[in-house]
């Protein structure tokens, strides 16, 4: 027993000793883990703090916004992006106390008591982030947010957060809480391009920040969580507004463009949350909370005009800014508000593709616009008027004459029959001078020395709740209370209602007409080199017509018809019959001269002289769907983002695709890029305006590489280029030519010359020019030859000092002689055509050259006495052999209103002589004829014996050829590429 007991005790001792050893090991391991962890964390903290930037808060908050800069291709600074009206700095005492408390309540409840970081807030955020497995819950104090804006990136990483906390505590030790709050409230982004509470107050309420009420202050504070989601209103283009939209709060003019301001209902719950926080934190009373919550938010909003009259930049740099903002969102993952903030205050370095010298030259040409065209008469406006107002083709008023719209002081006036005041004091207005849904005042025009200026007006600045619109949208009524309160703005005098000019926007300077735009591009890189979007315009973010779509007319033909045809088995020698045609919808295209049709026409000639009927027929051979596919390859159609596309479903038809009568149209930017694919051997390059963007630390945040795709082979592109050279050398685009340079391109004219184009290229640059009036109701007095002439002036200046070059001819191009009436190899008959030889040398992509002989030219014997095909009984002396054309598809004038193509007289005669037959005896008839003449002669001799004998009878004329030798086809009138027969442009 004793031995067993001792053995058991020894065993227990060993187990106890073993447990102690394990515990010691675990304790040592734990202590080592703690020491290592602390050391690691300490090392991380030490490293982060060591790498933190040096800060000088007192100085830095005064230079919080670092202007971004735009450089040219040589790295030379060309513009520093200024933001005078994007932010207005005000002192803290110039802000409503409600503003300060609202932002503190929602952003940093313990701002007045913490030392830069809020430990309770951090703990709460950690719990929420663990639960949601994200880093979405914020715990940044106002001080941390200011530090981030000043010194750090927005990346949500652990080390950045440590740096942010460290710098926030350092800032709190160096400057006061009021200084921090003031800097924060002056720089925070609050949507609609407004930075700081003063700019936001002007944008949303049209008042100073010091005058903001509790309700208005809480609304501004509601925006901070997500400016894009919670901004007080959204800007929507008028055409996208439904008539019954009850959230319309007015209109806003943003750098010359009108938008409808629509209240954003997302803000309401957010505002309620902030007011609750303010009440819970003792910043407002229960009564104040109730009163603010009960206010009609929509009636508070009074959009201000977002204009900047102190900044002048070029169209090119304005386009760069828009592209940078767009790409920061789509390519770098920024939100829209972050992108705008980076552009305006982020200190970005933007390296553009602009050629400053070229841009300057083109701008100089536009500044002397009327001196740079061969014929200035086309500047005379061509428009219809009714009562002095400009009207469209339907008789609708497009522009009022100024005197018919405004009084001598610039106030809108309405005649006595256009308004009434009822017994309750309500003012009802029924006038065509105001569009009722959004109370838009119609635009007007002025005329000075024969030049037209068009002027944009805005909407009446009336709160949505202060007026009503009748159900039929024929009138609107301003409520008595509002009318009485603003009676000084709506005055009745001289039997008219005068609405003050302070109530609506009026562009008194106006825009000169006609207008123009040009875009120039480098063929091989896709770099945009120069952009001008209008004449005599100035300011920032002005209307850029270079990016605004207009109907292209015949300038679309090489892209939608002829390049697709060349790429699908047709050649420059392929022939269609230019004769009357009517499609299944009853639509019939016509050429420039509606009564003229050209008959058998090769593709090269159809393009050279811009025949419309031929273009439609080639399109039908290619197919509508194929044409649309090629336009997508050319960048005209954006299949990836159809919402941003100007090509509409209705444009998938013959008239838009063959003649350019598109619903909206194409911009010079897109047109230039599309033609550039032909200049670049069939390879489309997306046009880019900048190559890279660096942040304020010199780090590249966007390396802009253009997208590319193959449209056609280099061989097809070369054939198309050669055809477009013909257009310039001898066709409709001859005025685009300039000395010592190869030029290829195409004209375009829309109905009634509302838009004229020339798009083309040299071996150095591609460019598209548009000329027209901002409203299609005002026409040009001439057609696209003026665009070709102006293009020549621009490009001649651009090419100064450059050597002449020819377009590079790739391998795989062959030349063959062809008959231009059949497109096939010629026979002997092709050179014996009564119009002269029909044989020409044509270029082909190897493998597409013709193999068959011409079957259009035929010979036949003609009885010249009857003009019909000779039969076996026709006398030999009246039979001649002639050469004719035999149409592949017969054409019958009787089925087409008697219309005949120009080559109809040369086609094969179908009727056989029915005068000479087997029963007739030509010898007997000949002898009888002689005997009859002798008898008559004897009788005459008896009567006139004493008279002098007559002169010998003249020798009969030789029988004439079956058809007289015609004059060569006359050259068509200048610019025959008007899209006659195309659909009208939508109003």
Give phi and psi for 566, each to the nearest 5.
-60, -30
**Per-block average pLDDT, block size 10, for the chain (987 residues)?**
53 57 57 50 52 67 71 88 63 93 92 85 65 58 83 60 82 89 88 84 90 94 87 78 70 64 88 94 94 89 59 77 94 86 86 94 85 59 85 87 94 93 92 83 90 88 83 84 90 91 88 92 97 76 84 96 97 98 93 92 97 97 96 90 77 94 94 98 97 89 95 98 97 93 95 89 98 87 87 95 94 98 97 96 97 96 91 92 94 93 92 84 55 54 42 32 40 48 36
Q: At what angle are helices 142-151 and 97-107 packed, to 10 degrees?
A: 90
Phi, psi angles (nearest 5°) of residue 352 = -85, 170
Please, are residues 311 and 318 in contact by the beta-carbon 8 Å criterion? no
Full DSSP string of 921-940: -HHHHHHHHHHHHHHHHHHH
Alpha helix locations (H) across 783-838? 785-798
Q: Which two tokens stand for residue 745?
A: 């391109």
Contact 772, 552 (CB under 8 A): no
User: Given 3-state DSSP classes, what are the helix, strand and coil percentages for the chain, each rounded to the nearest 5?
Assistant: 40, 20, 40
Query: What distances in angstroms separate CA 433 from CA 132, 261, 439, 452, 474, one per listed residue?
Result: 57, 21, 10, 20, 12
d(C-alpha 562, C-alpha 577), whole Å:
16
Residue 172: other Cβ atoms inside 10 A? 19
Q: Which DSSP category does 458 fall into?
A: -
Nearby residues of 503 by Cβ (< 8 Å), 6 or more positions away: 412, 460, 461, 462, 489
Residue 579 CA to residue 193 CA, distance in Å, equals 58
Q: Which of 103, 101, 308 is nearest to 203 (CA)?
A: 308
Q: Give CA angle at 812 (687, 678), nearest 5°.
A: 20
Q: What is the pLDDT of residue 951?
A: 31
List the one residue out of 710, 715, 711 whose CA is nearest residue 846.
715
Average pLDDT, the chain: 83
Token pair 């309700």: residue? 215
Looking at the DSSP bridge assignments, the partners of residue 761 are 744, 766
Cα separations (Å) of 123 from 127, 128, 129, 857?
6, 9, 10, 94
d(CA 167, CA 781): 68
Q: Which two tokens stand for residue 652?
A: 């998938």
pLDDT at residue 936 in the model: 54
Nearest of 509, 492, 475 to residue 402 by alpha carbon: 509
Q: Is 769 left (phi over 0), alpha (psi -120 to 50) or beta?
A: beta
Look at residue 956 in the predicted model and tell me its pLDDT: 32
H or E element that contains 618: helix 612-622
Going by C-alpha positions, the residue among 895, 776, 69 that lies closest to residue 393 is 776
CA distances from 557 to 69, 355, 662, 675, 985 (A): 41, 30, 12, 11, 18
What is the spatial distance between Cα 736 and Cα 785, in angstroms, rounded to a whole number? Answer: 8
Residues whose CB falls within 8 Å of the CB of residue 692, separated by 6 or more in sequence, listed in order: 351, 700, 702, 703, 704
Do residues 436 and 469 make contact, with C-beta atoms less than 8 angstroms apart?
yes
Over 446-512, what HEC string results? EEECCEEEEECECECCCCHHHEEECCCCCCEEECHHHHHHCCCCEEEECCEEEECHHHCCECCCCEE
Tell me if 30 sits within 8 A of 142, measured CB to CB. Answer: no
Using an 8 Å Cβ cutoff, are 742 and 805 in contact? yes
Strands 683-685 and 599-602: unpaired
Helix axis angle, 158-174 to 142-151, nearest 10°:
110
Q: List beta partners, residue 521.
A: 528, 766
Give whole-number Cα distances, 909 to 806, 885, 886, 890, in Å: 46, 9, 9, 12
Residue with tokens 């701008």: 363
The first and second tokens of residue 670, run together, are: 């897109």
Residue 967 pLDDT: 41
β-pairing verdict for 397-401 and 444-448: parallel
Plot region of 931 (φ>0 → left; ψ -120 to 50 → alpha; else → beta): alpha
The pLDDT of residue 556: 97
pTM of the model: 0.73
Dist. CA 504–CA 490, nearest whole Å: 12
**Tell me, what's the pLDDT at 804?**
92
H-type helices in 686-772, by residue range? Answer: 714-730
Q: How many CB atoms are closer than 10 A to CB 293?
A: 17
């Amino acid at each position: 027993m004793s031995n067993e007991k001792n053995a058991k005790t020894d065993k227990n001792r060993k187990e106890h000793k073993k447990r102690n050893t394990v515990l010691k090991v675990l304790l040592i391991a734990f202590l080592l883990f703690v020491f290592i962890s602390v050391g690691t964390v300490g090392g991380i903290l030490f490293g982060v703090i060591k790498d933190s930037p040096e800060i000088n808060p007192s100085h830095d908050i005064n230079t919080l916004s670092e202007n971004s800069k735009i450089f040219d291709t040589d790295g030379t600074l060309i513009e520093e992006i200024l933001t005078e009206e994007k932010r207005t700095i005000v002192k803290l005492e110039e802000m409503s106390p409600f503003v300060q408390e609202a932002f503190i309540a929602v952003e940093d409840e313990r701002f007045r008591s913490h030392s830069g970081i809020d430990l309770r807030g951090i703990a709460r955020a950690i719990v929420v982030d663990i639960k949601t497995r994200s880093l979405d819950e914020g715990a940044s104090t106002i001080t941390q947010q200011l530090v981030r804006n000043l010194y750090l990136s927005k990346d949500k990483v652990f080390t950045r957060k440590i740096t942010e906390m460290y710098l926030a505590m350092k800032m709190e030790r160096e400057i006061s809480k009021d200084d921090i709050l003031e800097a924060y409230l002056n720089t925070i982004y609050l949507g609609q391009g407004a930075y700081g509470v003063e700019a936001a107050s002007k944008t949303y309420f049209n008042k100073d920040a010091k005058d903001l009420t509790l309700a208005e202050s809480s609304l501004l504070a509601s925006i901070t969580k997500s400016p894009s989601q919670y901004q007080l209103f959204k800007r929507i283009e008028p055409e996208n507004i439904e008539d019954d939209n009850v959230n319309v709060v007015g209109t806003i003019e943003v750098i010359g463009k009108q938008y409808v301001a629509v209240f954003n209902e997302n803000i309401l719950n957010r505002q309620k949350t902030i007011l609750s926080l303010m009440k819970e934190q003792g910043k407002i009373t229960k009564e104040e909370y109730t009163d603010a919550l009960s206010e009609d938010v929509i009636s508070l909003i009074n959009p201000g005009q977002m204009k900047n009259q102190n900044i002048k930049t070029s169209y090119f740099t304005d386009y760069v800014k828009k592209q940078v903002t767009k790409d920061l969102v789509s390519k770098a993952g920024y939100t829209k508000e972050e992108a705008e903030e980076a552009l305006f205050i982020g200190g970005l370095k933007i390296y553009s593709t602009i050629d400053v010298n070229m841009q300057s030259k083109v701008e100089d040409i536009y500044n002397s616009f009327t001196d740079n065209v061969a014929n200035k008469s086309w500047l005379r406006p061509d428009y219809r008027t009714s009562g002095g107002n400009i009207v469209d083709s339907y008789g609708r008023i497009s522009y009022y004459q100024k005197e018919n719209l405004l009084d001598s002081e610039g106030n809108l006036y309405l005649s006595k029959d256009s308004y009434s005041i009822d017994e309750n004091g309500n003012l009802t207005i029924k006038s065509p001078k105001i569009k009722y849904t959004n109370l838009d005042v119609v635009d007007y025009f002025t005329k000075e020395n024969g030049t037209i200026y068009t002027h944009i007006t805005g909407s009446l600045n009336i709160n949505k709740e202060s007026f009503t619109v009748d159900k039929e949208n024929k009138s609107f009524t301003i409520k008595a209370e509002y009318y009485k309160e603003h009676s000084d703005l709506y005055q009745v005098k001289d039997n008219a209602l005068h609405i003050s000019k302070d109530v609506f926007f009026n562009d008194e300077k106006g825009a000169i007409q006609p207008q123009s735009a040009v875009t120039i591009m480098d063929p091989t890189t896709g770099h945009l080199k120069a952009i001008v979007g209008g004449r005599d315009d100035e300011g920032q973010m002005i209307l850029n017509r270079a990016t605004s779509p207009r109907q292209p007319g015949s300038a679309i033909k090489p892209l939608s018809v002829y390049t697709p045809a060349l790429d699908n088995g047709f050649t420059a020698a392929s022939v269609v019959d230019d004769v009357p045609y009517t499609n299944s919808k009853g639509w019939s295209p016509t050429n420039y001269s509606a009564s003229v049709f050209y008959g058998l026409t090769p593709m090269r000639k159809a393009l050279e002289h811009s025949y419309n009927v031929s273009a439609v027929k080639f399109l039908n051979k290619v197919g509508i769907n194929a044409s649309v596919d090629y336009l997508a390859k050319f960048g005209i159609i954006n299949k990836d983002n159809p919402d941003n596309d100007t090509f509409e479903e209705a444009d998938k038809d013959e008239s838009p695709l063959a003649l350019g009568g598109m619903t909206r149209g194409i911009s010079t930017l897109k047109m230039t890029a599309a033609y550039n694919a032909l200049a670049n051997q069939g390879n489309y390059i997306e046009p880019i305006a900048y190559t890279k963007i660096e942040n304020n630390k010199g780090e590249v945040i966007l390396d802009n590489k253009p997208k590319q795709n193959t449209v056609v082979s280099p061989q097809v592109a070369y054939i198309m280029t050669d055809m477009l050279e013909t257009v310039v050398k001898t066709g409709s685009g001859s005025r685009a030519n300039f000395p010592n340079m190869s030029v290829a391109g195409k004209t375009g004219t829309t109905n009634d010359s509302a838009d004229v184009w020339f798009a083309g290229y040299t071996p150095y640059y591609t460019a598209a020019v548009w000329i027209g009036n901002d409203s299609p109701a005002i026409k040009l007095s001439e057609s696209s030859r003026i665009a070709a002439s102006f293009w020549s002036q621009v490009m001649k200046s651009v090419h100064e000092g450059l050597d002449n070059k020819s377009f590079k001819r790739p391998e795989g191009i062959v030349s063959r002689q062809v008959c231009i009436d059949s497109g096939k190899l010629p026979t002997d008959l092709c050179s014996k055509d009564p119009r002269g030889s029909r044989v020409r040398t044509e270029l082909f992509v190897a493998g597409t050259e013709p193999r068959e002989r011409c079957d259009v030219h035929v010979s036949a014997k003609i009885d010249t006495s009857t003009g019909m095909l000779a039969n076996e009984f026709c006398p030999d002396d009246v039979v001649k052999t002639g050469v004719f054309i035999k149409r592949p598809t017969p054409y019958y004038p009787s089925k087409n209103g008697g219309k005949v193509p120009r080559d109809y007289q040369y086609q094969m005669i179908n009727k056989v002589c029915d005068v000479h037959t087997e029963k007739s005896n030509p010898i007997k008839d000949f002898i009888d004829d002689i005997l009859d003449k002798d008898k008559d002669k004897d009788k005459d001799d008896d009567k006139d014996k004493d008279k002098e004998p007559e002169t010998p009878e003249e020798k009969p004329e030789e029988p004439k050829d079956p058809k007289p030798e015609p004059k060569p086809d006359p050259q068509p009138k200048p610019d025959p590429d008007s899209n006659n027969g195309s659909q009208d442009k939508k109003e």
